[in-house]
Amino acid sequence: MPRYDKIVVLTGAGLSAESGLATFRDKDGIWARYDYRDVATPEGFARNPSLVYEFYNMRRREGSKAKPNAAHYALAQLQRQHPGEVLVVTQNIDGLHEAAGTTNLIHMHGEMATSLCTNCDARQPWREDLAAELVCPECELVGGLRPNVVWFGEIPYEMDRIAAALAACNLFISIGTSGNVYPAAGFVAGAIEAGAHTVELNLEPSDTASYFAERHQGAATELVPSYLNTLLEV
C-alpha cells in the first residue's frame, strides 16, 4: 500500500494561470480590475445585475476557449493511477479539471458553465451568456437566472463532504492558491488536525505557507507533474 492512501488536493486560480485564465490577486489579476464587492457579492448583483452578468459572461467566454495544462493532466493521471483515494477540491469555476479527465471533483465555489435559478433553485449547464430576461428551462419563470457561483458571504458547496475528506486524509496538497479566502484557506488546519502530511505547490508562498510541512515554489506546470510522480513511484 502506498505511503498516502487518502489524498485531498485543493486548487486555486494559479493552477489555471498557465492555461491563460487570469488569477485574482496577482498584480494584473481580476481584483486589480474589478472591486469584488461589485461583482462577487449578492449585494453587488442586486445593485447592478448587468455588470455581474457581463463579468461572468466574459469569464465564461474566456473559459470556454482555455485548455487544461500539464498540471491539470497530472492530477487526472494521479486519480487514474494511484491506488488510494484522490479527491480534488477546486475553488476554480472553470471546467479545466474535468476537461483533463479529473472525476472525483468538488467545485466548492460553483461553476461558470452552469446557471442557478433563484426561483426554483435549479442548477443547469449553461454555456451561453446569462441575462436578466432569460426564461428558466426548469420552472419557465423569467428573471431568476444568475451565475451558479459562490459569492462572498454565501456558503460554499459540499462543505460536509469536504470536512469529512479532510478529517480522514493523510496527505493534503494545496496548489495555486493565495490562501486568502475562507473556508478554503483553513483546510490545511483541518488536514493537520487529522495528522496528514501537508504540501504547498505555489508560484510564491501563500498567506498560509507557514502551516505546510513541505513547500515547493514554482510554476504549476513544472511543480505538479514532478511532485505527483513521486507519489506514483512509492
Q: Which residues of this chain interact with ligand BV8, rule CB under 6 A?
A: 12-14, 17-18, 23-26, 29, 40, 91-93, 109, 149-156, 159, 176-178, 180-183, 202-204, 206, 219-220
Smallest gap from residue 173 Cβ to ligand BV8 (A): 12
Please give the residue whose beta carbon sits closest to ligand BV8 in the complex: 14
Closer by beta carbon to ligand BV8, 2 or else 22: 22
Is residue 109 annotated as part of the catalytic site, yes or no? Answer: yes
Residue 22 Cβ vs ligand BV8, minimum distance, rounded to whole Å? 8
Residues 6+ apart with CB under 8 A from 122: 116, 136, 137, 138, 139
Provide the b/e sequence for 202-234 (b: ≥16 CB within 10 Å).
bbeebebbebbeebeeebbbebbbebbeebeee
The whole-angstrom separation of Cα 9 and Cα 92 is: 13
In whole angstroms, how close is the CB of 76 to ligand BV8 at the nearest point?
17
Q: What is the largest CA-CA distance in the chain?
A: 55
Nearer to ligand BV8, 18 or 227 (CB): 18
Torsion angles phi and psi, residue 112, rounded to 5: -65, -25
3 or 67: CB nearest ligand BV8: 67
Catalytic site residue from 72, 97, 107, 109: 109
Q: Based on CB atoms, which residue is closest to ligand BV8, 3 or 37? A: 37
* Residue 61 dihedral angles phi and psi, to the nearest 5°: -65, -45
The C-alpha atoms of residue 185 and residue 178 are separated, in whole angstroms, by 8
Residues labelled as active-site residues: 109
